[in-house]
A and B are shown apart, each in its own frame.
Chain A
Amino acid sequence: MQIQTTREDHRIAWLAALAIAIHVLEAALPSPLPGVKPGLANVITIVVLVQFGWRMAAWVSLLRVLCGSLLLGTLLSPTFFLSLGGALASLAVLALAARLPGRGFGPVGYSLLAAQAHMLGQFLIAWQLFIPHPGLWTLLPLLLTAALLFGLLSGIIARMMLQGVTREPA
């Protein structure tokens, strides 16, 4: 039996593989605070969103979370749920942002929004499931500030990438 794959499927697989590689490499970086890391794999999500639309970005992002956790051995662990919650929150926000009329957001705006939503999503999951203590809120401004800096960084990288790649004819 052979599964028929489309050109789009291959594209999703390639881009997800790229995101997974970044995700795994980044896991080797030490983190000053739980939940804080550059999130450079999201550069791929933003590039895909701008080039190919939200649906493909969602595929790439969720495949990255799933396969990344399989490779790192964190599937179904707290880390995985935080990661998944963050990814779902940023995808939800990106779905709304992509509908904005006019010129709307560029890669930097998308990345900033996604980073804030990702942090907020994983923060709420951490608060609901793992540490339901009001003291956790004290960390929120710090975490969102980190998300602002890393979101900006990822957005700038995504913008440079988008300027570098030209879309090949389908």
Chain B
Amino acid sequence: MTRADWVLLLALLVGLPWLYLQVWSSAPGQQLAILTAEGPPRILPLYPDQEVRIAGALGDSVIRIEQGRARFIASACSNKVCIQRGWIDASGESSACLPNRVSIQVLGRDARYDAVNF
């Protein structure tokens, strides 16, 4: 083993764990897409904090954006599944209020999930 061999081996032993960290840690989302039955999707940044009121099929849905995550906090539906979904922050995660026909999805560099099935 020459000195170059050892340097290379060491570089690989350091570089590969770094690559695992880079590739396998889920990227935080950067934007939030709000989709409604009517009209084009609205894209909002996940910073700074804000609350958005969206008119849906039944009434208004209120979405809160806080510290890079987002959730429904109120919706004009009966079962409130969208609110119980809680905070979403990973790129690709989504929450939907089907009765009110409003859904939100976190957008990022690359999506953590392609699709989520319940």
Asked if chains A and B come from one complex, the reply is: yes
Interface residues of A, Cβ cutoff 8 Å to B: 100, 102-106, 108-109, 112-113, 116, 134-135, 137-138, 140-141, 144-145, 148, 152
Are B23 and A144 interface neighbours, CB within 8 A? no
Given contacts A106-B1, A106-B5, A116-B12, 9 further A-B contacts (CB under 8 A): A103-B2, A103-B4, A105-B2, A112-B5, A138-B24, A141-B23, A145-B16, A148-B13, A152-B9
Query: How near does chain A come to B9, taking the closest CB pair, in angstroms?
Result: 6
Q: Does B19 belong to the interface (CB within 8 Å)?
A: yes
Are A108 and B5 CB-contacts (below 8 A) given A134-B110, A144-B19?
A: yes
Question: When A112-B9, A112-B12 are in contact, do A140 and B23 touch as well, CB less than 8 Å?
Answer: yes
25 CB contacts below 8 A, A to B, read A100-B4, A103-B4, A104-B4, A105-B2, A105-B4, A105-B5, A106-B4, A108-B9, A109-B1, A109-B8, A112-B5, A112-B8, A113-B8, A134-B110, A134-B111, A135-B114, A140-B23, A141-B16, A141-B19, A141-B20, A141-B23, A141-B24, A144-B16, A148-B13, A152-B9
CA distance A105 to B7 in the complex (A): 10
Q: Which residues of B contact A (CB under 8 A)?
A: 1-5, 8-9, 12-13, 16, 19-20, 23-24, 110-111, 114
C-alpha spacing A113/B11, complex, angstroms: 11
Given the complex, which residues of A lie within 8 Å of B16, measured CB to CB? Answer: 141, 144-145, 148
Q: Is the CB of A137 within 8 A of B9?
A: no
Query: What's the Cα separation between A54 and B68 when bound, in Å?
Result: 53
